[in-house]
Amino acid sequence: MKNLSKVFSLILGPSIVLIFYLFNYSGAFLYYPALMSFGAGSVFLLSGLFFKPCLILRFAKLKHQDISAAGEVYCRRLNILWVLILYLNAVVSVAVTLAGDMELWALYNGLLSYVLLLSFAGLEYLYRGVYREKYENS
């Protein structure tokens, strides 16, 4: 996990410096939500590509040490979904920022992005119960 944080630092640090440079510090804070979403998505991506097991499976193993093969596949797929949703969130956040409408920026980054992420997490939690009933108890 230490290597993962080093890689994360290598990606996020230069990204922040580049944005501050490109925007001459003015307005750079508006990209903070996009950077955080991109950074979190990158952690999930890198954990799935280079640091086995993926982050979701690591979290799952904290609670359940004996995860079935079907459960591991589910965790890997869920890890990919988190990468996609976090990157999508980052793209929308950048688009809203580039639109230049502060009310829209505040609405999306202050409310809608949280609703999106929490809805995904909640729906996954509900689906996980159905999935476990179907595959773990059969």
Q: Which residues of 118-127 are buried (b: 16+ CB within 10 A; e: fewer)?
A: eeeeeebeee
* Radius of gyration, alpha carbons of the chain: 17
Q: What is the model's pLDDT at position 2?
A: 58
Would you call the peptide bond into 53 cis, given omega within 30 degrees of 0 as the criterion? Answer: yes
Q: Which domain holds residue 79?
A: 2-136
Residue 3 one-letter amino acid: N
In tens, the pLDDT along 72-104 reads 888 899 999 999 999 999 999 999 999 989 999
Six token digits for residue 111: 């409310």
In whole angstroms, give the CA distance from residue 51 to residue 103.
40
Q: What is the model's pLDDT at position 9?
A: 65
Of 104, 92, 118, nearest in space to 33 by CA: 92
Q: What is the model's pLDDT at position 7?
A: 66
Segments of the chain with pLDDT less than 70: 1-9, 12-13, 16-17, 23-26, 135-138
**Dihedral over Cα of 88, 30, 115, 43: its sign:** positive
Q: How many domains does the chain have?
A: 1
How far does CA 61 lie from the centroid of its chain? 19
How far does CA 2 lie from the centroid of its chain? 18
Q: What is the model's pLDDT at position 12?
A: 67
H helices of 23-112, where? 32-49, 55-63, 69-99, 102-107
